[in-house]
Structure 1
């Protein structure tokens, strides 16, 4: 894997690793902090000083601390408003598509590093993120992936694309680093409240998601959470945002979770996209296979008409 690492700006190959730096063939250096390489280029909206100083940017691990009463109630006691019922099955299927011993790159691994390494057992899993909150294998910006062309057999980006300031460039990078014949698992919302601000930029319709991967065929597309989940999330968000006072907002959160938590189960058997249910789902999951065929915009749009009514 180390032989495939490149500088995110110059694409110079990795020459050597010292105690504190990755040194590249053009003699540029990028730091290693607490054993994690920080491979950020000069054009990234993130910077190494924020990471070294553990500045909270896109994610804060404190929300997982269930010793906090509010977190405990929210995470352990209250029902969720939406659930991706097919998540484990989808990833098990994706794992089977990758040859045993194949390399899978995870973008935006967050707190699920152990989960990914377990569910993709039999593969070499490389985790990444734009912060060091959960100790990924690498820290880098997905707009400038520091790996050579066709390095990976599989790439996964779950609920990441909406946080990229240039999703077209991000998706071009994903297609660049996966091998021809390799697979990409991409998941993103169509409808969800603004979050991780200010690093929340886009939402994606069915055709919008498809259009971002013109060098790939669609192996499978499904709704992660459907129209009912979108209704539950929207209703809850409306009531919570009626007030700016924390105690009132928390009270509405509690009440709406109880009132609307059941609605998501209406989506449990409705995971296949059709021309009706793509109107307002919470999100999508696409499994792509890179085939290097150059598809025009017209070609990509034609696929929508193959959906059932």
Structure 2
């Protein structure tokens, strides 16, 4: 039996997951609960902290931004699926507080590993608690870098999709560590395509441009000189403000194919296929400009 915490079923596989059911069922005051566990709980702030939290979110929107370098998005993927299917069930993994438009023919299921208001279920992408062929589409934005085994997770995505079902995924390439110990993997454009080799490509490309990646890299370069959390906070804000103009170069680079070799992140949108592409076929999908071998 799985517990239900604050109205949300916690469907974690204790044997396989880096998370534990105890992370979500113990209170803050329980012995042995760590800072990580408290953060995983995603508990709502006290009323006295809500104004401060709202002001902080407003400031973050001004400072923590990226210039769109993508020709596709999760919203466009949802619209595509809604037009293609008369009634679609869409699974959103790692949803956070993201919500998609209410459409008459679409039913959403939101999951995350954080216990909060946004998730219908708390579950781990390595072991999705849903039957085979349960969904028509899966949305995974900035999720697969935070899983221990992304290929197992891609297999789980394929398992829960109906034949011809859709997947939209975004993963980082040229990005520094974020979310601390829960950050494991990076993918090139071609590596990301191989991750979804059991799918037929509809759209694929750059999600975050090289300019955004450069700004991010400069930020972490400066942060490397400091260890105190208070100092790092002010350094981060200062560098983000200083590097903000750099990000606008992505409006130019977004149209240059060679930029994929230095992209901050990549996306894939495709349909579940009858057979996987081979690694020899995979090479044909390369779209950068870093040519090592002469092409006949």
Q: TM-score range by the shorter chain?
A: 0.7 to 0.9
- Kindly state the Cα deviation for residue 240 of structure 1 after the two structures are TM-superposed: 2.4
In the other structure, the counterpart of 1:293 is: 275
1:150 aligns with 2:133: yes
In the other structure, the counterpart of 2:228 is: 245
Do the aligned residues in 1 keep the contact of 2:202 with 2:271 (CA within 8 Å)?
yes
In the other structure, the counterpart of 1:18 is: none
In the other structure, the counterpart of 1:30 is: 2
* Secondary structure at 2:176 match in 1: coil
In the other structure, the counterpart of 2:88 is: 102
Question: How many pairs does the alignment contain?
Answer: 274
Aligned partner of 1:91 among 75, 85, 102: 75
Do the aligned residues in 2 keep the contact of 1:81 with 1:257 (CA within 8 Å)?
no
Q: Which runs of 5+ in 2 are unaligned?
A: 28-36, 290-296
Q: Which runs of 5+ in 1 are unaligned?
A: 1-28
1:51 aligns with 2:48: no
- Kindly state the Cα deviation for residue 125 of structure 1 after the two structures are TM-superposed: 0.4
Mapped to 2, the partners of 1:101 and 1:86 lie a distance apart of 28
- Kindly state the Cα deviation for residue 273 of structure 1 after the two structures are TM-superposed: 7.0
**In terms of mean alpha carbon deviation, does 91-100 or 103-112 score higher?**
91-100
In the other structure, the counterpart of 1:71 is: 56
Mapped to 2, the partners of 1:308 and 1:161 lie a distance apart of 22
Q: Once superposed, what is the RMSD of the aligned Cα atoms?
A: 2.7
Do the aligned residues in 2 keep the contact of 1:163 with 1:200 (CA within 8 Å)?
yes
Mapped to 1, the partners of 2:196 and 2:190 lie a distance apart of 11
1:283 aligns with 2:265: yes
In the other structure, the counterpart of 2:33 is: none
TM-score, normalised to structure 1, is: 0.79
TM-score, normalised to structure 2, is: 0.82
Do the aligned residues in 2 keep the contact of 1:221 with 1:273 (CA within 8 Å)?
no
In the other structure, the counterpart of 2:249 is: 266
1:303 aligns with 2:271: no
- Kindly state the Cα deviation for residue 119 of structure 1 after the two structures are TM-superposed: 6.3
